[in-house]
Chain A
């Protein structure tokens, strides 16, 4: 187990270093100047240069990159060019919102996907199966920028149950979580159906049935736990995506998360914030993947024992 963690940590450092350098170079090479975005056109040439110098943007990109990494090693992500706030603080303000929404939508996707997937698998080829998979197809087909406003219309405007947008209390999380969760549930339920179908063909299921276990016991106790590995992989990937911020959903629901911060800072060419966001997102991905692997090893002794 220790070796798995160590290997993962080493690869984490390499991945994060690679991502950080790539993003640094890309964002510096795309057209668009942060000084223009900040000063507008009324500024004098000398003021532009002064600002460029005070922000360190007049130095060669290589030197800026080195400077960035040396600060990074000391845990300093820099300050926003626009608001002059420390990037760490900006990320710390946004991270809880993103994490909250990610967990809630993952929960909702599980609540939808497990029943759908199980029903579909147990009734393969029948009307139930087709209905369940039809529903999941619908979930994955409706884009979030449409589903979001439709849900707002129904639950906020006509029924008046939930707030339209913003992040004020738990109730404001329901609609964005459902919007994100349904799309995830669609993929997840298909995965559950197919892996469950596979497992249900296995010998030990027949044995369990032969022992006289009830249908319910066979599925819940034997089939589902054995179908969990690929499902956990998918859940891990989805959690990674969610923690990286869901830009469209965050925009529609004015949810102050990482995704919106990333896009806004790219638009403003706020280099330190973009770098901070991307670093955080890539770190989250790597950590979630690592945790998924550890979870594997914990669930499945074959992996843990290296067989």
Chain B
């Protein structure tokens, strides 16, 4: 027994010594690399399968796509220019330069066809198949030219061809590139040593970029301050952004975003199907204060799903101003007052920042005499409830909206889940007709006018109370330059970012 005890004392001493020694030899990872902090780790580097925002943003760096979007969300050529040969026949011509895969092979029309054929094959269960079902056939004309034939005419069609192109042999052999990448983008894949650490390298100057997943927001900030990461984008509470803004060696930049936040209602609910109630809620919200004190920076108040500078966005709109008196009047006309107040249940996710926003909205609505019971759930439960229509009121955001066909998906009466995302069971014959009419006309100007009218109607009806387009921001150490934020929040700024050593 004594021996055992002595041995264990010795063991502890040795271990203690080891720890002290290791303190002296602090490791220093590759300091030339630019380390980019992520709030959530990427899941898949295969553009045919990735659906989460982080993977999609990283895949933009590793792969090229046929089509991209400009600042007004119009489809513009990226890897290929297109022409309309018949109303259901598009011809894409690949550009001459910059078409090399990481392996050294040239990207050809065969690779494009193989990628899209793979997605369209139902057996491969790609999540992107649904958006491409309008394609009836894809034909390679020559190595630089490819034809897409559609089932129905669709002037928005090029905007769907935004999936990264993988080499033909990968698609033909049925390989899934979850944990590696063989793209032709500005970056090449180097290594993914652990789930929390992905390394890529810029072709042009061999600049390495390491993505480091740091889930906790405070720790991400502390890592930036200590220089363990060089920059990160978004996903930080306002007070931490302010804290960083006040630090000397760190610069913070803001930019307007396009992600649309809203309050959604269940329109089959006996209380909320009354439009006056929804309008009363809209008038009771002091969005200006919320934006000023909680969201800040470049966050702007929203009237509709599309930003005003979207080609189909609402150019001028009279929004619901903050007016408690008007709100109370509307409630009174709907039959509610202090003795008989409106009681609502408000569901939100368990994200602390979302709960904070919800709490403030709860407080603001209370001032108009609306009593709100707040309930927060983990994301999967919350999302399940929203889809199933088990809610009265909830708040969420639409992320990465480029195409105005979102209106059919969200507001058409035929789009109730699981067919679409009309979660509030909104049913307005006028809106349905407008959407059908807009989508049946090929004339862009007529479409734009139609979308204006549609959005005015939605603003009047309020199936959603529009809240705001949340800003994007980035924080970086002062030795980092050239990172440009963009409206949809992607990481394309990494194409030009530089690090001073």
Contact = CB atoms under 8 A, between A and B. Distances in A.
A153 B222 contact: yes
B214 A165 contact: yes
Given A39-B127, A84-B176, A161-B26, A254 B215 contact: yes
A267 B122 contact: no
Contact of B130 (A47, A172, A252, A267): A47
B44 interface: yes
Where chain A touches its partner, the secondary structure class is helix
Contact of A46 (B19, B43, B122, B381): B122
B213 A83 contact: no
B104 interface: no
Interface stretch (B223-231, B275-283, B443-451, B476-484): B223-231
B219 A164 contact: yes
Interface string A38-72: 11111111111011001000000000000000000
Contact of A51 (B1, B5, B18, B125): B125
Contact of A171 (B4, B22, B214, B381): B22
For chain A, give the interface size range: 35 or more
A107 interface: yes
Interface in A134-175: 148-149, 152-153, 156-157, 160-174
B419 interface: yes
Interface stretch (A28-36, A184-192, A193-201): A28-36
Nearest to A224: B5
Nearest to B127: A39
Interface string B11-35: 0100110110011011101000000
A8 interface: no
A263 to B, nearest CB: 10
Interface residues of B, number: 60
B23 A161 contact: yes
Contact of A299 (B1, B131, B384, B421): B1
Contact of B215 (A51, A157, A251): A251
Contact of B27 (A38, A107, A153, A171): A171
Given A37-B380, A42-B130, A171-B26, A164 B5 contact: no
A156 B378 contact: no
A251 to B, nearest CB: 6
Nearest to B417: A41
Interface in B354-386: 378-381, 383-385
Contact of A166 (B12, B123, B228, B378): B228
Given A157-B225, A161-B23, A31 B194 contact: no
A82 B54 CA distance: 14
Nearest to A221: B2
Nearest to B382: A32
Contacts of B142: none
B380 A32 contact: yes
Contacts of B225: 157
Given A83-B178, A267-B379, A225 B5 contact: yes
Given A164-B226, A165-B223, A38 B51 contact: yes
Contacts of A51: 125, 127
A85 interface: yes
Contact of A269 (B22, B126, B380): B380
A39 B51 contact: yes
Q: Which residue, of B215, B387, B421, has the highest number of chain A Cβ atoms within 10 A?
A: B215
Given A39-B51, A42-B130, A162 B27 contact: no
A152 B219 CA distance: 8
Interface in B175-231: 176, 178-179, 194-197, 212-216, 218-219, 222-223, 225-226, 228
Contact of B216 (A38, A110, A251): A251
Contacts of A299: 1, 4
Interface in A219-234: 220-221, 224-225
A44 to B, nearest CB: 4
Contacts of B43: 82-83
A33 B387 CA distance: 11
Given A38-B127, A157-B225, A252 B216 contact: yes
A253 interface: yes
A274 to B, nearest CB: 12
Contact of A42 (B122, B123, B127, B387): B127
A33 B5 contact: no
B130 A168 contact: no
Contact of B219 (A44, A149, A267, A268): A149
B23 A162 contact: yes
B133 interface: yes
Interface string A176-216: 00000000000000000000000000000000000000000
B222 to A, nearest CB: 5
A157 B226 contact: yes
A79 to B, nearest CB: 11
A107 B387 contact: no
A93 interface: yes
B270 interface: no
B380 A170 contact: no
A83 to B, nearest CB: 6
A36 B384 contact: yes
A166 B41 CA distance: 13
A166 B379 contact: no
A111 interface: yes
B29 A168 contact: yes
B222 A156 contact: yes
A78 interface: no
A228 B26 CA distance: 36
The 7 closest A-B pairs by CB, nearest first: A32-B380, A170-B22, A169-B27, A44-B130, A39-B127, A31-B384, A164-B223
28 contacts: A30-B380, A32-B381, A32-B384, A33-B384, A36-B384, A37-B380, A38-B127, A40-B127, A41-B420, A42-B51, A42-B128, A44-B133, A45-B419, A47-B127, A82-B43, A82-B44, A84-B178, A157-B226, A165-B228, A166-B214, A166-B228, A167-B194, A170-B22, A171-B23, A174-B19, A221-B2, A224-B5, A269-B380
Interface of B: 1-2, 4-5, 12, 15-16, 18-19, 22-23, 25-27, 29, 43-44, 51, 122-123, 125-131, 133, 176, 178-179, 194-197, 212-216, 218-219, 222-223, 225-226, 228, 378-381, 383-385, 387, 417-421
Interface of A: 30-33, 36-48, 50-51, 54, 82-85, 93, 104, 107, 110-111, 148-149, 152-153, 156-157, 160-174, 220-221, 224-225, 251-254, 256, 260, 267-269, 299
